[in-house]
A and B are shown apart, each in its own frame.
Chain A
Amino acid sequence: MAEVNKYMVFSLKNEVYGAPVEQVISVEKPMNITRVPNTAPFIKGVINLRGMILPVIDLLSKFDIGTSDITESTRLAIVQSEDIRVALLIDTAKDVLDITQDDVDPVPEVAGGIHAKYLNGVAKLEEGLMILLNLDKILDPNDIEIIKQLEV
């Protein structure tokens, strides 16, 4: 019996992504984002989520494959890795799906322009492919330090 994992499915610029459901805390409507100067470009700013200050990450910019537009339909997926909690910009949150490990292909070096280290794999669904995110790697604060140093 192959391992089954639950993923929250969301779309972002015509691609379908999945985030491990146990790391997704909530999906919020767009709110005012305060820009933070002198930080990595993929940090869109910070928001006030019920008294907590959370950074907002633009995944497309983080993966270096474009930038997200913030519109009325934009949602914020609040995700967590260990003690780090951030908001991800997404277009629409769809569903929670069971993904059997058998349906997951390991990714080559780069998948759809995204570095393999940020991904858990690519799942084949009836409707097409779903890119499975590795939030622990994406939310690694060391990653941002490296980028900040490159900026300077």
Chain B
Amino acid sequence: MDTNQYLDLFLEESREHLQSMDQGLLDLEQSHGNLEVVNEIFRSAHTLKGMSGSMGFNTMMELTHQLENILDAIRNNELTVDSAIIDALFAAADQLEEMVERIAGGGSDDVDISAVMASLKQTSGGQPEAPAQSAPTDSSPSNDFLADVMKQAADQGFNVWQVEVVLSKECVLKAARAYMVFQIVEQLGEVIQTEPAVEAIEEGEFDSSFTIKLITKDSESDVQEKLLSVSEVEAVHVSPMKNEANATAASKQMPQKQTAAGEAAPKAKARAATRTIRVSTQRLDELMNLFEELIIDKGRLEEIARQLKDQELDETVETIARTSGSLQDIILNLRMEPVEQVFNRFPKMVRSVSKDLGKKINLEMLGVDTELDRNVIDEIGDPLVHLIRNSMDHGIELPEKRRDAGKDEAGRIVLRAYHSGNHVFIEIEDDGAGINRHKVANKAVEKGLISNEEAETLSNKEVYELMFRSGFSTADKISDISGRGVGLDVVKNKIESLGGTVDVDSEEGQGSIFTIKLPLTLSIISSMLINVQDETYALPLNSIVETALVTEESLMKANGEEMYEYRGRMIPFKRLNQLLDVPGDKVQHNKYIPAIIAQSGKNVACFAVDRFIGQQEIVIKSLGNYLGEVRPISGATILGNGQVALILDCSSMI
């Protein structure tokens, strides 16, 4: 078999299965051996084994086989789940991940697995080979799980029937008939167990009859009648199953297949199938580029329509504007992915880091289906890792300390994502010690970031902000995790490069909360166009607080700098024509100077312009590699008349 064309598929599916395996292992650790969870993990391992085998990755197959054996032993109650087993399973999962990444990088799965294999074998008590799986032979229900489900079913007024379906001796297409039976049965209710296994039945591997245990609201006769409608079904025997008997007759065997929703209310549930197609991100980028061209042309049309003042043209342009607005929403949505993609690697990280730190930490993740632009998703991972590690290292205290403080020994970190307006917020909240103002302030003085007086007068919030300055770290000792002084300032830079902001708040003894605010999209923004002499500039709307008309008399001077009083607070007043060395000396004779009040983080400033043009959606274009970074310009855009306008970066001007 030429396997190359399947390689991408293999890699993608392997990653998915490894991810669900990781999740499963974490659940397993939490639930202390919930069999349903073991089954989930087993299924992932089993699929991985099959896939790696058919792709010819034998080392990977060997390892997954060993994993399977252990999981099998666990679900047969031959092994009890303890931390040693969990650790060994995690190690094996890590090793598998490494293999997959090596294969993705063009290598082979040839990794030394002897250490992992040895630890796996050791945990399974020197019994590497699991007993052969045999289907239960009696008709009694098979385990606690089953009994549990049946009890719930009975409580909710469902019937539990044992249905024996006998096919006619002449039946040639046993598999097809069995399939039809299952189609009907699944409409009737929930199948909790079959004998032989579903897979075997669907392959036609049974003599002439098979048994289904079914939870349904339908009566005995209804079930019988409906199943008899399948041709070549000779007889259907429906008999009730007693709960009391079930509970006591628990055996060690697990059913080969059971529906995952078994513990929920048993009701017929249609398999949710959303129809999707895979599209490469490159094509989405192309689509976006073309759309940007369209936006620029739309701007040009609007300009022409303004000049011509033709009603029909105006109406058409308006329609185009509306349509392109909807189109923009859709295209931007196409590029959106749930933050889950980034979040799902954190539980494992928190687990291993908290072990290293000797702390007990529970991670809670909320709003994992919040969506973000694909490009942001790719970039936001590292800053989040850093912030979470920071909370684990500096935030959450050691268990003894927490107990003394009257807190739960296990610390709690909440990772929360949500939409608000045109932004996505991600919060990292911990219930740890909080930020010690004095410690931070002292450190900042020591590092020469602030003076002694400032240390006294700054507000708490301002002190916390100091932690984002470069070269700042308050860890008492340098640990492996954070506190190397390359921490929060890097996080801040990264987030700002994505057009976002990061903020921190804290209450001593209660915990801290870091809030990241990110724009929904990166390439099209709302902006305010302004004139400075004859030049046109764009200011991103999200940094503008308001526009104002300022009189020369209202300005004050402090240290030679012009200041403006804004809501009882003195803010710097800067003239853009000076800031940007704009040529031209047209004197404005108006009494009022048009000005823009802009904000970056905590800082507010007032910028004098010559004329407001108005709001416009603009497409951000880079100035290119040649010019590099030009302050305070963050990019350029093409206006309706084809001219280039520069986009001002408020944060570097304030």
Contacts and interface: CB of A to CB of B under 8 A. Distances in A.
A139 interface: yes
B645 interface: yes
A144 B626 contact: yes
A54 B625 CA distance: 10
Contacts of A26: none
A51 interface: yes
Nearest to A40: B627
Interface string A41-85: 001011110011111000000000000000000000000000111
B630 A34 contact: no
Most buried by B among A37, A39, A52, A85: A37
Most buried by B among A51, A86, A139: A51
Contact of A36 (B583, B630, B642): B630
A37 B582 contact: yes
A53 B621 contact: yes
Contacts of A53: 621-624, 636, 638, 644
B643 interface: yes
B293 A34 contact: no
Given A36-B633, A37-B633, A141 B628 contact: yes
- Chain A interface residue count: which class? 20 to 34
B581 A36 contact: no
A53 B643 CA distance: 10
B646 interface: yes
Contact of B626 (A31, A32, A45, A55): A55
A38 B581 contact: yes
B580 interface: yes
Given A35-B535, A145-B628, A51 B296 contact: yes
B269 interface: no
Contacts of A32: 642-644
B631 interface: yes
Contact of B625 (A34, A39, A84): A84
Interface in B601-654: 621-628, 630-633, 636, 638, 642-646
Contacts of B626: 55, 84-86, 139, 141, 144
A32 B642 CA distance: 9
A133 B632 CA distance: 32
Contact of B643 (A34, A51, A55): A34
A54 B624 contact: yes
Contacts of A43: 627
Given A53-B636, A144-B628, A145-B628, A34 B623 contact: no
A113 to B, nearest CB: 24
A46 B625 contact: no
A96 to B, nearest CB: 25
Interface of B: 292-293, 296, 535, 580-583, 621-628, 630-633, 636, 638, 642-646
Given A34-B644, A37-B582, A53-B622, 4 more contacts: A34-B636, A36-B633, A37-B581, A48-B643
9 contacts: A34-B644, A35-B535, A36-B627, A36-B633, A37-B646, A38-B581, A51-B296, A144-B628, A148-B628
